A and B are shown apart, each in its own frame.
Chain A
Amino acid sequence: AQTVTQSQPEMSVQEAETVTLSCTYDTSESDYYLFWYKQPPSRQMILVIRQEAYKQQNATENRFSVNFQKAAKSFSLKISDSQLGDAAMYFCAYRSFAGGTSYGKLTFGQGTILTVHP
């Protein structure tokens, strides 16, 4: 079974600065997908960024980028020019490419609470 670990329960950053959230995962599969979701106080889970394991290029979405190290099974999220609206719980998630017992299943890490200071 796959596991996802976020070792930073809490992180803080000053507005306009850069912060990196860490995520490691364990899998024996070669094809999979990784995601970062954001959950603000409203509790709505919002997709931040997605990475396909077969792509060597790191995904980027505006101020959000990832550092995907497949061999190290590491998937960190970098938030540049942090804004007050970035304050939320961030979850790293894994999804298998295979079907069967992996259909529709995301495996989540424990989450990292990000605080943004003005």
Chain B
Amino acid sequence: KAGVTQTPRYLIKTRGQQVTLSCSPISGHRSVSWYQQTPGQGLQFLFEYFSETQRNKGNFPGRFSGRQFSNSRSEMNVSTLELGDSALYLCASSIGQSSDTQYFGPGTRLTVL
């Protein structure tokens, strides 16, 4: 089985712009979770989608949003980018049960100038 894929792998944006990141889960997985990783804050949970519905959301401002499509692919969007949004964004997929293990993609490195 192919693993979790994320595109693009690297992005450079300027303040005020918006960005969309994409995540394709492992085939058969219906849950996608997103995390932000920074040196200062570590790994923080953004949100989780299951069957096109957001089931959980972390403590991030409304500029961070996401969605999931019927094929379980997920996108996250960040509007009005700030310098502090520079981070590695990781997505993880799982079957969708609470007992699942999450499998991670390679991440998207976002740099905001």
Q: Which residues of A contact B (CB under 8 A)?
A: 33, 35, 37, 42-47, 50, 52, 91, 95-111
Contacts and interface: CB of A to CB of B under 8 A. Distances in A.
Nearest to A109: B42
Interface residues of B, number: 28
Contacts of A101: 56
A50 B99 CA distance: 11
Contacts of B35: 106
A104 B104 contact: no
A110 B56 contact: no
A107 B55 CA distance: 16
A104 B31 contact: yes
Contact of A43 (B33, B56, B99, B106): B106
Given A43-B88, A45-B90, A103 B45 contact: no
Contact of A102 (B92, B98, B107): B98
B14 interface: no
The 6 closest A-B pairs by CB, nearest first: A104-B48, A45-B104, A103-B55, A103-B56, A108-B43, A104-B33
A33 B99 contact: yes
A96 B98 contact: yes
A102 B101 contact: no
B22 interface: no
B103 interface: yes
Contacts of B94: 104
Contacts of B16: none
A106 B32 CA distance: 12
A97 B33 contact: no
A46 B50 CA distance: 22
Task: Among A43, A46, A107, find the residue whose CB has the most chain B CB atoms closer than 10 A.
Answer: A43
B7 interface: no
A86 B107 CA distance: 20
B28 interface: no
B42 A111 contact: yes
B102 interface: yes
Interface in B27-84: 31-33, 35, 42-43, 45, 47-50, 55-56, 58
